[in-house]
Amino acid sequence: MDRFRMIFQYFQSNSESVMNGICGLLALASVKMYTSFDFSCPCLPQYNMAYGLGIMFVPPVILLLCGLILNRQSVLMLEEWRRPPGRRKKDLAVIRYMCSSIMQRAMVAPVVWIVVTLLDGKCLICAFSASMDPEKFAGFANVSTVQVQQLLAKVPCRDDELMTNNTSRKAVSRYLRCWSQALGWSILLILIIAAFLARWLRPCFNQATLLQARHWSNYIDIEQKIFEETCCEHSRLFAHKCILHFFESMRQEIKLHSFSLPREGEGAEAEEDLLRGITDQDQVNKLLKTWYYEKPPLDVS
Amino acid sequence: MDKFRMIFQFFQSNQESFMNGICGIMALASTQMYSAFDFNCPCLPLYNLAYGLGILLVPPFILFLLGFVLNNNISMLAEEWRRPQGQRGKDPAVLRYMFCSMAQRAMIAPAVWVSVTLLDGKCITCAFCTSVPVETLGNASHPLLSQGEIQRVLARIPCKEIYNGQQLIANEVAVRYLRCISQALGWCFVLLMTTLAFLVRSLRPCFSQAAFLKSRYWSHYIDIERKLFDETCAEHARSFAKVCIQQFFEGMSTDLVAARCHLPRKAPVDAEEAAEKLLGITDRGTMNTVLKSWHRCKPPLHLHPPALPTGNGWAGEGQPPTHPSAPRRETAAYYSSV
C-alpha cells in the first residue's frame, strides 16, 4: 500500500503529472479491453465490413471522449473560453495551449487501440476478405461469382465446415494480415516521427510565448483549486455559525436543560475574520456569480 | 517498501538516473512487444523480403525515436541550442554531450529488438528463404520448374503447412540453414554492440577528460536550473492565486451593502506570507516580462553582484562569461596540479 501511495503522491504533485498518469492508464486499459474482447466476425457478405470497421473505429471514439471527460483541464479550458472578460482580459494563446495539450493526451488511447487492432489483423481480415480478388488464390479461382462472395466472406471463420483446412483460406488470411501489420507499423512510424519533430522543433518557434502560456494555464488550474478550497472553508464556517445561531435562538425555549453553548470569544472572532464579512445566502450567491462574470484582474500590487 | 522507496528516490534524483530507468523499461518492453507480436510471413516471393526486413528494421527505428520523445532533455537541448545568447554564452561542448548521452540511451531498446529478432530467426527465414542455395542443399536439377516457379515454391518455406517443394529442398534443411545464419548474425551483432560500448567507456578518459567533466557538470546544471525555475514559477503562481482570491473576497465584502457586513480586522497570516513570496511580481504584465526575459536573456553564470563594465577588466571583454571568475582561478590551479 505504501508503494501505491508513493506512486499516487508522485503523480498528484502537479496537474500535468496527473494527466500523464491518466493518459497512460487509459492506454493500458485500451490494450486490456482489446485482448479481452471476444472478436466474432459474422462471416456474411454485407455484415463483415460493417462489423470489422465498426470495431476498428467506434471504440477509439469512445476512448477519445473518455480521455476528454477524465481530464480536468478540459472543463477549465471551456470555462476560460466562455467566461465574460470582466476585469481580466482573455489570452487566446493560453486557451490554445490548453486545448492542444488536452487533445494530445486524449489521442493516445485511441491511437493505441487502432495500432493494436491493425497489428493483430483480425479486424481487417474480417472487413476486407470479401473484397479480395478471387483470381489470385487457387481455391477460389474457378468458383461462380455468387458463391465466391459467400466463400470469401467465410474466410475469417476458421471453424466453418467449408473453411477448415482450406489452404486458400489460409492464403487469403495471411495476405490480409500482412497488409494489416504493415499498415499498423507504418501508422506507428508516422506518428512517432511527428511526435519527435514536434518535440524537437517546438523551442525553435516562439519559446517565450510558450513559457508564458504554460505558466498561465498552470496558474488558472491552481487558482481554481484554491478558490474551491477557500469556498469550502467558508461554507464550513458559514454552516457552523448558522447552526450556532439556530441553537442560540432555540435556547430561550429550552428551559429544562442547563444548556450552555460552547463559545470562546477568541474563536468566534477569528472565525468571523475567516468569513470575510460574507454571512448570508444572497451574499454568497452574489460572490459566486461575480466570480464567474467578473474575474478579478491579474494585479495584486 | 523502504527499498522500493529508496530505488524510486534514486531514480528521481536526477534526470540521467531517471532516463536510465526509462531506458531499461523500454528494453524490457521491446522484448515483450516482440513476443506478443504475431509474426505472419506472407509466403509470397516479393512480399517476404519486404515483410521480413520491415519487421527487422522499422520497429527499432520507432523505438529509437520513442527513446528521444520520452526523454525530457530533448526539449532542453533544443531550447539551449536555439535560445538567444543574452548575457550567457553558449557552449557547444555541452550541447554535444547532451545529444550523445541521449542518443546512447535511445539506442539500447532498438539494439535489443534487433538482437532478439536475429536470435529468434523468423525474420531472416522469412526474408531470405528465396535465396537459399538450392544447388548445395537440395536437388537443383528438378525438372519442369521455371525460375519463377522455383521462387514461388521457395517462398513457402516458412509456411510449413502449404509447403510443396519437398523434392526440391527439404523444409527442415532450409529452415535450419537460415536459422543458423540468423543466429550467427545475432550473436555477432550482440558482440559488436558490447565491444563498442566497452571501448567507448574505457577509452573515454584517455581523451579530454577535463572537458568531459566540464560538459557533464554544466549539462546537469542546466537541467537543475530549469527544474528549479519551474518550481519557483509554480510557487509564485500559488502565492499569486492566494493573494488574488483574498483580495477578491475583500473587494466583495466592501461592495456588499448588508446588515451585518464588516471588514476583517486582520488579514489571515498565510495571505501575508503569500504576499511576501510574490517577490515583487504582482501583475500579469510583469510576470509575462519575467518569463520572456528568462528565454530571451538568461542571467549570466555569475553569482557576485553585477560589476560595472569599466571597473572589472574581464567582465568587459568580448569573451562570453560562461563560468564565474572565482572558479576560473580554481580551474587553472586544477590544471597545474594535474
Nearest to B74 among A188, A200, A222 (CB): A200
**C-alpha span between A71 and A217 (Å, rounded):** 14
**C-alpha span between A116 and A122 (Å, rounded):** 10
Chain A closest CA to B285's CA: distance in Å?
9
Q: Which range, of A204-208, B10-14, B185-189, B312-316, averages the lowest pLDDT? A: B312-316
Helix (H, G, I), strand (E, B) or coil at A262: coil
Residue numbers in A near B294 (CB within 8 A): 208, 211
Model confidence at A153: pLDDT above 90: no
Does B295 contact A222 at a Cβ distance shorter than 8 Å? no
Residue numbers in B near A231 (CB within 8 A): none
For residue B249, give the chain A residue with the closest CA.
A276
B278 φ, ψ (degrees, to nearest 5): -70, -10
Give residue for cell 577535463: B210
Contacts 24+ apart (CB under 8 A), B96-102: B96/B215, B97/B212, B97/B215, B97/B216, B97/B219, B98/B73, B98/B219, B101/B16, B101/B73, B101/B219, B102/B19, B102/B67, B102/B68, B102/B71, B102/B73, B102/B74, B102/B77
Residue numbers in B near A120 (CB within 8 A): 38
Model confidence at B20: pLDDT above 80: yes
- Enclosing domain of residue A103: 1-208
Model confidence at A194: pLDDT above 90: yes
Q: Kindly state the average pLDDT of the residues A185-197.
A: 94
Residue B266, pLDDT score: 45
Contact B224, A246 (CB under 8 A): no
| Span A94-137, pLDDT tens digits | 999 999 999 999 999 999 999 999 999 999 999 998 888 888 77
Show the cell assigned to B108. Answer: 539500447
Chain A closest CA to B253's CA: distance in Å?
6
- Segment 49-78 of chain B within 8 Å of chain A by CB: 50-51, 54-55, 58-59, 61-62, 65-66, 68-69, 74-75, 78
Instruction: Identify the top-confidence range among A211-215, B40-44, B107-111.
Output: B107-111
| Span B99-114, pLDDT tens digits | 988 899 999 999 999 9
Residue numbers in B near A282 (CB within 8 A): 258
Residue numbers in B near A204 (CB within 8 A): 78, 82
For residue A230, give the chain B residue with the closest CA.
B245
Amino acid at site B54: G
Residue A149 placed within a domain: yes
What lies within 8 Å, CB to CB, of B168 at 6+ separation is B134, B138, B139, B142, B145, B150, B153, B154
Chain A closest CA to B5's CA: distance in Å?
7
Angle between helices B15-36 and B2-13 (to 10 degrees): 110
Residue B118, pLDDT score: 95
Residue numbers in A near B157 (CB within 8 A): none
Does B79 contact A203 at a Cβ distance shorter than 8 Å? yes
A299 φ, ψ (degrees, to nearest 5): -155, 105
Residue B61, pLDDT score: 95
Residue A131 placed within a domain: yes
Residue numbers in B near A283 (CB within 8 A): 252, 256, 258, 261
Nearest to B283 among A14, A202, A298 (CB): A298
Percent of chain B with pLDDT over 90: 23
User: In sequence order, what E strands does A94-220 have?
Assistant: none
B114 φ, ψ (degrees, to nearest 5): -60, -40
Mean pLDDT score of chain B: 79
Model confidence at B233: pLDDT above 80: yes
Q: Which range, of A224-228, B10-14, B329-333, averages the lowest pLDDT? A: B329-333
| Span B195-223, pLDDT tens digits | 999 998 888 878 888 888 888 888 888 88
**C-alpha span between B78 and B228 (Å, rounded):** 19
Does A286 contact B256 at a Cβ distance shorter than 8 Å? yes
Which sequence spans correspond to the domains of chain B? Answer: 1-207, 209-258
For residue A283, give the chain B residue with the closest CA.
B256
Selected residue of A276, A288, A290 to mutate for chain B interface (largest B Cβ count, 10 A): A276
What lies within 8 Å, CB to CB, of B78 at 6+ separation is A199, A200, A201, A202, A203, A204
| Span B246-294, pLDDT tens digits | 888 877 777 664 444 444 444 455 666 766 767 777 778 888 887 887 7
Helix (H, G, I), strand (E, B) or coil at A299: strand
Taking the Cβ of residue B229 and every Cβ of chain A, the question of whether any pair is shorter than 8 Å is answered with no
Residue B50, pLDDT score: 93
Chain A closest CA to B314's CA: distance in Å?
30
Does A196 contact B237 at a Cβ distance shorter than 8 Å? no
Nearest to A219 by CA among B250, B290, B223: B290
The ipTM value here is 0.72
Amino acid at site A65: L
Residue B178, pLDDT score: 93
Helix (H, G, I), strand (E, B) or coil at A258: coil
B308 φ, ψ (degrees, to nearest 5): -70, 145
Q: Which range, of A66-70, A223-227, A277-281, B69-73, averages the lowest pLDDT? A: A277-281
pTM over 0.95: no
Residue B23, pLDDT score: 87
Counting Cα atoms < 13 Å in the Cβ hemisphere of A60 gives 16
**HEC sequence for B249-299:** HHHHHHHCCCCCCCCCCCCCHHHHHHHHHCCCCCEHHHHHHHHHHHHHCCC
Model confidence at B36: pLDDT above 60: yes
Nearest to A189 among B4, B62, B250 (CB): B62
What is the phi-psi region of residue A160: left when phi exceeds 0, alpha when psi lies from -120 to 50, beta otherwise? beta
Angle between helices A2-12 and A15-36 (to 10 degrees): 120
What lies within 8 Å, CB to CB, of B226 at 6+ separation is B76
What is the phi-psi region of residue B43: left when phi exceeds 0, alpha when psi lies from -120 to 50, beta otherwise? left
Selected residue of B157, B161, B225, B256 to mutate for chain A interface (largest A Cβ count, 10 A): B256
Model confidence at B15: pLDDT above 70: no
Contact A201, B75 (CB under 8 A): no
| Span A13-53, pLDDT tens digits | 567 778 888 898 999 999 999 999 988 898 888 899 999 99
**C-alpha span between B36 and B53 (Å, rounded):** 18
Does A199 contact B78 at a Cβ distance shorter than 8 Å? yes
Contact A103, A71 (CB under 8 A): no
Residue numbers in B near A289 (CB within 8 A): none
**HEC sequence for chain B:** CHHHHHHHHHHHHCHHHHHHHHHHHHHHHHHHHHHHCCCCCCCCHHHHHHHHHHHHHHHHHHHHHHHHHCCCHHHHHHHHHHCCCCCCCCCHHHHHHHHHHHHHHHCHHHHHHHHHHHHHCHHHHHHHHHHCCHHHHCCCCCCCCCHHHHHHHHHCCCCHHHCCCCCCCCHHHHHHHHHHHHHHHHHHHHHHHHHHHHHHHHHHHHCCHHHHHHHHHHHHHHHHHHHHHHHHHHHHHHHHHHHHHHHHHHHHHHHCCCCCCCCCCCCCHHHHHHHHHCCCCCEHHHHHHHHHHHHHCCCCCCCCCCCCCCCCCHHHCCCCCCCCHHHHHHHHHHHHHC
For residue A195, give the chain B residue with the closest CA.
B69
Does B258 contact A279 at a Cβ distance shorter than 8 Å? yes
Give the distance between the most distant pair of CA atoms in chain A.
Answer: 104
**C-alpha span between A277 and B85 (Å, rounded):** 52
Nearest to B43 by CA among B129, B102, B108: B129
Chain B closest CA to A257's CA: distance in Å?
31
Taking the Cβ of residue B18 and every Cβ of chain A, the question of whether any pair is shorter than 8 Å is answered with no
For residue A205, give the chain B residue with the closest CA.
B82
B280 φ, ψ (degrees, to nearest 5): 80, 0
Model confidence at A218: pLDDT above 60: yes
What lies within 8 Å, CB to CB, of A91 at 6+ separation is A213, A216
B283 φ, ψ (degrees, to nearest 5): -150, 170
Chain B closest CA to A256's CA: distance in Å?
32
Q: How many cross-chain Cβ pairs, A to B, lie less than 8 Å apart?
A: 192
Residue A161 placed within a domain: yes
Nearest to A199 by CA among B63, B70, B25: B70
Number of domains in chain A: 1
For residue B233, give the chain A residue with the closest CA.
A215
| Span A220-279, pLDDT tens digits | 989 888 888 888 888 888 878 777 777 776 665 555 555 444 544 556 666 666 676 777
Residue numbers in A near B287 (CB within 8 A): 212, 215, 298
Nearest to A277 among B44, B234, B261 (CB): B261
Model confidence at B330: pLDDT above 50: no
What lies within 8 Å, CB to CB, of B222 at 6+ separation is B76, B80, B94
Q: Which range, of A13-17, A21-25, A160-164, B238-242, averages the lowest pLDDT? A: A13-17
